[in-house]
């Protein structure tokens, strides 16, 4: 009995580590949103150089889960919880990588090129960040209804991305340089992918509760 109580305490610890990692990732997105709003290159550089810390958090979760599986040999619900932790930590690490990709592209964008699309890009990023936050909250609470609502938000991000792409390709070469169009299109795509990963996290939250894979898209 004592062994099982210790195991479940360690399960709770893994979950908290994962939620802390999520908080760190959302903080990085906050920095990126601020960088877009202010066009501060120094903030973008900070995001790139600090990605290592989030990678280490993902490794920490992975190592802890691997240790628990090897020592405790969990089955059924307990094993599912550990698998979900691995999947979500991987998704969060990929989100952080995509934020770095956005920062690298943003450094190449001229301020006058960004201004036209600044509001929509910030709106996309803010919504994607909210999706990450809510999907993690759904995971924390094992709240299926909250997880299922993420899909609606993903549709809105997709719509904004579509608007940006259509506007970009309507612009004449005398309005914006071709390489600037490319950078902005990549940024939109990366943010759209972040929203997809938020949806993935919500799907893993559902799977942890009922053991069924549910495509929220």
The domain segmentation of the chain, as residue ranges, is: 2-210
The CATH code that applies to domain 2-210 is 1.20.58.220
CA distance 31 to 98: 13
pTM: 0.92
**Tens digit of pLDDT per residue, the chain (217 long)?**
445 668 888 888 999 999 999 999 999 999 999 888 776 667 788 888 888 899 999 999 999 999 998 888 877 888 999 999 999 999 999 999 999 999 999 888 887 777 788 889 999 999 999 999 999 999 999 999 999 889 889 999 999 999 999 988 888 777 778 888 889 999 999 999 999 999 999 999 999 998 888 777 6
Which residues make Cβ contacts (< 8 Å) with residue 175, sequence separation at least 6? none
| Contacts by residues 79-82 (CB-CB < 8 Å, ≥ 24 positions apart) | 80/207, 80/208, 80/211, 81/11, 81/15, 81/208, 82/11, 82/14
């Amino acid at each position: 009995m004592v062994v099982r109580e210790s195991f479940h305490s360690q399960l709770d610890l893994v979950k908290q580590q994962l939620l802390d990692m999520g908080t760190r990732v959302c903080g990085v997105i906050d920095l990126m949103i601020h960088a877009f709003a202010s066009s501060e290159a120094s903030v973008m550089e900070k995001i790139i150089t600090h990605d290592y810390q989030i990678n280490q958090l993902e490794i920490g979760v992975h190592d802890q889960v691997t240790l628990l599986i090897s020592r405790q040999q969990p089955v059924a619900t307990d094993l599912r919880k550990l698998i979900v932790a691995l999947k979500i930590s991987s998704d969060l690490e990929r989100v952080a990588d995509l934020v770095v990709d956005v920062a690298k592209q943003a450094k190449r964008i001229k301020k006058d090129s960004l201004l036209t699309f600044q509001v929509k890009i910030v709106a996309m990023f803010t919504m994607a960040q909210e999706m990450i936050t809510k999907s993690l909250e759904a995971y924390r609470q094992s709240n299926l209804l909250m997880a299922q609502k993420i899909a609606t938000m993903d549709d809105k991000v997709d719509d904004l991305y579509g608007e940006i792409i259509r506007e970009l390709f309507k612009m004449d070469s005398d309005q914006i340089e071709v390489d600037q169009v490319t950078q902005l299109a990549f940024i939109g795509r990366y943010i759209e992918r972040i929203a997809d990963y938020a949806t993935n996290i919500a799907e893993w939250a559902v799977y942890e509760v009922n053991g069924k894979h549910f495509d929220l898209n």
